[in-house]
Structure 1
Amino acid sequence: MEYKVEELSPVERKVVVTVPVEEVDAAIQATVSVYRTTVDIKGFRKGKVPSQLVEGRFRQQICEEATTDLVNVHLNEIMGELGVQPMSRLDVDAGLLARGEAFTYSVKFEVAPTFEVPEYMGLEVEQEKPEVDPAEIQAVVDRIRENLAEMQTVTEDRTARDGDVVVVDFSAWQDGKAVDEIKANGFQMVLGDNQSLPEFEAIVKKLKPGENGEDDITFPEDFINRDFAGRTVTLRVKLHEIKAKVMPELDDTFAKKAGGFKDMAMLREAIENSYLESRRNLVRADAQKKLVDQLLAKVDFPLPPMVVEEHVDQLLGDFKQRVESQGRRLEALGKTPEELRGQFRPKAEEMVRTQMLLLAVAAKEGMAVTNEEVDRHLLQEAIRTKQDPETVRRYYEEHNLMFALKDRLLADKAVEKIYASAKVTEVAPAAPAQEGGEAKPARKAPAKKAAPKDADAPEAAKKPAAKAKKDGAEKKAPAKKSAPKADKADE
């Protein structure tokens, strides 16, 4: 095997590989030998089938497997000799091996840019002092109280209102015919909780238990179910029951139910400590971001295009998931795929620039990621997602994500090194934004995940809010249309 390396750009490489006839024939024969031990052909004992018969019967599969195996061996050898670490997935352009013929193929990939790393030790940075507002502690107590509230049937003679949990039957009709896709019996929902279309809730709020009501509703144009987008139907509703929340007293019994605390003082202390820890992580992340920004301002280097596009794919995928979770369709935003990708490209480029800088620092420090560290991360990921660790590992391997994972862990090490050596000055927290002003968003640490949303609550008290349940329902209630939020598009 011989190969030639072409430098397409400072961050792009192309390797053209030429394989002689002898190596091609040997690779095919090796695969034929493997097939001989496994195939069953009538008239022959397993392992005794003539090679020519096996090759003739399974020629296509044999050539495909032989090509894949040979290319993988070559690429591992070539990357080792070149001493490069591909930053993107390998783009292999290859046909199939054929007996008696030389074989040529090429592979394109991207590498990290080369640049002079600025001095990153002993930088100066300001970091806010973590503080907790008593109102924030009370807000957590109130959320826990909501979670522990009991639902009791309302006995007074009144209509349903926001905050109530109602049990309804509903069905949709159009031109005198039932719309089978929109109906449910014994459906429970919380009014005023953004679970359903306002028009649907408006019908329910006019009713008392045992009463029926109906009205025309029009599904929004960006409704996630395209069959109903913009469609008007008559919705018929019967209200069976109204349940209201009964809030528990804030006493020692409440503290015990909230997580086994002795009294309210211990509960509040646990919330405060958890809040402080969350704030420490947040201000530390903000300081790390400032340090990296200082370094990025001193360097300029080209970015690997495919790596940037992979990050755009990731950001766009996350955005699509958020949009669809609100009952909307991405297409209904009125933007072309190219416009959406352009919207996320600046953020993707910032992420890649940060990654390239931190990997350069890691290389200069001679840092490495051990197999144990990879295993630990995969285990934590498995615990977080409630999956089997081997399933998580297999997903990373099958999707060629192991290199990216190691790069991310290396970047984490690098930013910790930079922060550990920095001269950190603690300052008072910034004043809250004035009325009519815009609060400054907290910045995230490079290459790290944001703190969990409920990090301010003690672990034992992190219980999901009570959700309405559906008993025997055939379909979901019409989902609420959420207005697009421009400030979410670049998250």
Structure 2
Amino acid sequence: MEYNVIVVSPVKTKVEVKVPAEEANAALTATVAIYRQKADFKGFRKGKAPSSVVESRFRKEIVGEATNELLNVHINEIMGELGKSPLSRIDVDTVELVKDQPVEYAFEFEHAPAFELPTYMGLDVEEEEVVVSESDVAAVIDRIRGNLAELTPLAENRPAKDGEVVSLSFEAFEDGVPVPGVKAENFQLTLGEAQALPEFEALVKTVPSGGQGEGPMTFPADFINQTLAGKSVTMKVAVHVIKEKKLPPLDDAMAQKAGHFESLERMREAINLSYQKSRQDLHKAAAQKKLLDGILAKLDFPLPESLVETHLGQLIDDFVERLERRGKSLESTGKTLEGLRTEFRDQAENIARTQIFLMNVAEKEGLEVEPREMDQYFNQLSQKTNQDVLTLKQYYEQNNLVIPVRDKLLADKAVELIYSKANVKKVPAVESVELAGEAAQAEAGE
């Protein structure tokens, strides 16, 4: 076997391969021998049928398997000699081995570009100090008390207020005809928590326990159910029970009921520590991003289109999934998939550029991912998604997702190395919307 390497671009390589007839014959003969041993032929003992009979019956299968096996051996050998890792699938010409004839084929693949690494060790970076206020902790405790509150029916007969829980039934009508899909019995709703449309909550707040009411309501234009988006209906509601929340006393008993806390003070400490950890991780990630942005600003290299497309597809999928979790559809935003491709293009390119840089750092520093680290990743993913870990591994293996996981872990190690060697200067924290909104992370310590 001989091959010739053609540099198509800094990120794409083409390899032309020539296979002599002798090597093609050897591959075909070896495959015929395998079929001869495992196939049954009438009139012959197993494994004793003439090769001509075997070839006649299984010609298509033999040629296909022999060709695939030989090409795989060639490609693995060539890729090893070239020392390149493909970032896309390897595109191979469609060929078939023919007895006593040489064969020529070519394959192409995309890979990371070659470039000189800039200085990435010993860099200066600022990182915000971690600050947790008493109001942060108090806000979490208030939510815990709310979750532990007892629901008791109202003593007085009046409409519900924000913070109270209503058990109701409702149905929508258009010109006196029920609207399909907009009906529920004994539906429980907590008012004032944006669980329902504002117009619907406003209507519910006009009806006392045991009463009925109706009023006009218009579904928003970006409503996830497009058959209802923008439609005006008459909503009828029947309120069965209104319950108010009675908060438990702010004491040790509440802390013990909330979780495995000895006392209220221990619960405060746990929430504070959880906040400390989440904000420390947040500030550290911000500092790491500053380091990478500064390094990447000094680099300029072409990007493999397949890698950019992979990240672009993931960004679009994540965006659509977030919309759906908020009860909206892509159509309701007025955006299109093609528009999202343009919108997220720069971000996808930046992710691809960062990945290539970090993989080069990992290679230069001799970083590796051990099997136990892969196992740990899948165990954590299993717990997060509530899926069987063996099933997850099998899915990743069958869909060629194991190598991307390994590369991600390698990139994470490279980031940690760069950060560990940086000159980190602590600076006063700056309040932000992001920090104010991460209480949910702190509540993981509850």
TM (norm. structure 2) is 0.87
User: Residue 443 of structure 2: which of 448, 454, 457 is its match?
Assistant: 457
Show structure 2 runs of 5+ residues with no match: none
Deviation at 1:18, TM superposition (A): 4.5
Q: Within 5 Å, which residues of 2 pair with 1:314-393?
A: 314-393=314-393
Deviation of 1:115 after TM superposition, in Å, equals 1.7
Task: Count residues with an aligned counterpart.
Answer: 444
Summarize the alignment of residues 165-176 of structure 1 with structure 2, pairs less than 5 Å apart.
165-176=165-176
Percent identical pairs in the alignment equals 49
| Per-residue deviation, 1:40 | 9.2
Match of 1:187 in 2: 187
Q: What are the Cα deviations for residues 63-95 of structure 1, in whole angstroms up to 9, with x where unaligned?
A: 666655554443322221211112x22142443
* TM-fit CA distance, 1:243: 2.1
Query: Bigger CA drift: 166-175 or 257-266?
Result: 166-175
Distance (whole Å) between structure 1 residues aligned to residue 150 and residue 120 of structure 2 = 56
- Residues 421 and 356 (structure 1 numbering): CA distance in 2 closer, same or farther, change over 3 Å? same
Q: Distance in 2 between matches of 1:299 and 1:153?
A: 66
Quick one: which amino acid aligns to residue 95 of structure 1? T
Give the distance between the partners of 2:60 and 2:190, measured in 1 at CA.
59
Q: Which amino acid in the other structure matches residue 123 of structure 1?
A: L
- Paired with 1:48 and 1:198, the residues of 2 have a C-alpha distance of 82
Give deviations 1:226-279, integer Å, cap 9, x for gaps. Answer: 333333333332221222222111101011112222221111111112211222
1:397 aligns with 2:427: no
Tell me the equivalent position of 1:412.
Answer: 412
Write the distance in 1 (CA, Å) between the matches of 2:315 and 2:80: 32
Change (3 A) 1:440 1:153: closer
Question: Do 1:64 and 1:96's aligned partners in 2 also have CA atoms closer than 8 Å?
Answer: no
Per-residue deviation at 1:57?
7.4
1:437-476 equivalences under 5 Å are: 439=432, 454-457=440-443, 459=445, 461=446
Amino acid at match of 2:224: I
Residue 133 (structure 1) aligns with: 133
1:163 maps to a residue whose letter is G
CA distance in 2, matches of 1:162, 1:52: 86
SS state of the match for residue 228, structure 1? coil
Q: Which residue of structure 1 lines up, in the alignment, with residue 197 of structure 2?
A: 197
| 1:456 alignment partner, SS class | helix
Q: Which has the higher contact order (CA 8 A, sep 6+)?
A: 1
How far did 1:26 drift?
A: 5.8
In structure 2, the CA distance between the partners of 1:19 and 1:132, relative to structure 1 (3 Å rule), is: same
Return the alpha-carbon distance in structure 2 between the equivalents of residues 184 and 6 of structure 1.
66
CA distance in 2, matches of 1:51, 1:189: 77
Q: Which residue of 2 aligns with 1:281?
A: 281
Question: Cα offset for 1:317?
Answer: 0.7
Change (3 A) 1:362 1:216: same
What is the RMSD of the two structures over their aligned residues, measured on CA atoms? 3.3
State the one-letter code of the partner of 2:342: G
Further displaced range: 101-110 or 308-317: 101-110
Corresponding residue SS for 2:3 = strand
Bigger share in helix: 2
Deviations along 1:295-342, one digit per CA (max 9) or x if unpaired, are: 223222222222112111111110000111122211232233232111
Quick check: 1:259 aligned with 2:245? Answer: no
Q: Does 1:242 pair with 2:242?
A: yes
In structure 1, what is the equivalent of residue 305 of structure 2? 305
Name the structure 2 match of 1:97: 96
Change (3 A) 1:21 1:393: farther
8 A contact 2:88–2:111 mirrored in 1: no
Deviation readout 1:95-151 (Å, 9 max, x if unpaired): 363654765554332222222212222222222221211111111111211222222
Native 8 Å contact 1:270 1:458 kept in 2 = no
Give the structure 2 partner of residue 158 of structure 1: 158
Are the aligned partners of 2:369 and 2:409 in contact in 1 as well (CA < 8 Å)?
yes
Are the counterparts in 2 of residues 28 and 97 from structure 1 also a CA contact under 8 Å? Answer: no
- With over 3 angstroms needed to count, the CA separation of the structure-2 counterparts of 1:2 and 1:150, relative to structure 1, is farther
8 Å contact kept, 1:63–1:96: no
**Cα separation, 2, equivalents of 1:210 and 1:182:** 21
Match of 1:224 in 2: 224
Name the CA distance, whole Å, in 2 between partners of 1:267 and 1:313. Answer: 42
Q: TM-score with structure 1 length normalisation?
A: 0.80
Contact 1:129-1:426 within 8 A present in 2 as well: yes
**Structure 1 residue 203 displacement after superposition:** 2.7
Over 3 Å counting, the alpha-carbon distance change for 1:234 and 1:458 in structure 2 is closer
Give 1:424's aligned amino acid.
V
- Contact 1:94-1:104 within 8 A present in 2 as well: no
Alpha-carbon distance change, 175 to 428 in structure 1, aligned in 2, over 3 angstroms: closer
Residue matched to 2:148: 148
| Aligned partners of 1:11 and 1:112 also within 8 Å | yes
The answer to whether the Cα contact below 8 Å between 1:261 and 1:267 also exists between their aligned partners in 2 is: yes
Query: 1:470 maps to which residue?
Result: none
Structure 1: where are the runs of 5+ without partners? 433-438, 443-450, 462-491
Matched letter for residue 96 of structure 2: L
